[in-house]
Structure 1
Amino acid sequence: MTEALVTVDHAALTLGGQAVLEDVSLTLAPGRITTLIGPNGAGKSTLARLVLGLARPDRGRVVRRPGLTLGYMPQHLRVDESLPLTVDRFLWLAAPGRTGARRDALQRTGVAHLRRRAVRQLSGGEMQRVLLARALLRRPDLLVLDEPAQGVDVAGQDALYGLLGQVRDETGCGILLISHDLHLVMARTDEVVCLHHHVCCSGTPEAVSRDPAYQRLFGTHGMANLALYTHQHDHDHDLSGDVHGGHTHDGHHHGGHHHD
Structure 2
Amino acid sequence: MHLLSIDDLHVALGGRTVLEGIGLHIERGEIVTLVGPNGSGKSTLLRAIIGAVRPARGRLVRQPGVAIGYVPQRLAIDATLPMTVSRFLNLPRRHSTRTVRQALEQAGVPGLGRQQVTALSGGQFQRILLARALLEKPDLLLLDEATQGLDHRGTADFYRQIESVRRELGCAVLMVSHDLHVVMRASDRVVCLNRHVCCQGTPERVVASPAYRELFGPDTGDALALYRHDHPRQHDRSVGNPIPPAADTSHLEIAP
What corresponds to 2:33 in structure 1?
35
Once the two structures are TM-superposed, the CA of residue 177 in structure 1 deviates from its matched residue by 0.6
Q: 1:160 to 1:10 in 2, by over 3 A?
A: same
What corresponds to 1:46 in structure 2?
44
Instruction: List alignment gaps of at least 5 residues for structure 1.
Output: 230-260
What corresponds to 2:166 in structure 1?
168
> Which among 62, 66, 69 is matched to residue 71 of structure 1?
69
What corresponds to 2:110 in structure 1?
112
Cα deviations by residue, 1:67-93 (Å, 9 ceiling, x for unpaired): 111100001111111110111110111
Once the two structures are TM-superposed, the CA of residue 17 in structure 1 deviates from its matched residue by 2.3
Contact 1:40–1:180, Cα closer than 8 Å, also in 2:
no
Q: CA RMSD in A?
A: 1.4
Contact 1:194–1:202, Cα closer than 8 Å, also in 2:
yes
What corresponds to 2:145 in structure 1?
147
Contact 1:95–1:138, Cα closer than 8 Å, also in 2:
no
- Count of equivalent residues: 227
Distance 1:186 1:73 in 2: 20
Contact 1:182–1:205, Cα closer than 8 Å, also in 2:
no
Contact 2:192–2:199, Cα closer than 8 Å, also in 1:
yes
What corresponds to 2:125 in structure 1?
127
Q: 1:126 to 1:15 in 2, by over 3 A?
A: same
What corresponds to 2:90 in structure 1?
92
> Which among 179, 183, 186 is matched to residue 185 of structure 1?
183
Could you state the TM-score of these two structures normalised by the residue count of structure 2? 0.85
Q: Which amino acid aligns with 2:150?
A: V
Equivalence map 1:16-35=2 (5 Å): 16-35=14-33
What corresponds to 1:136 in structure 2?
134
Distance 1:67 1:160 in 2: 28
Contact 2:31–2:172, Cα closer than 8 Å, also in 1:
yes
What corresponds to 2:249 in structure 1?
none
Q: Which amino acid aligns with 2:134?
A: L
Cα deviations by residue, 1:145-185 (Å, 9 ceiling, x for unpaired): 10011111111111111111111111111111111232221
Q: Which amino acid aligns with 1:99?
A: T
Distance 1:95 1:32 in 2: 29
Distance 2:109 2:92 in 1: 17
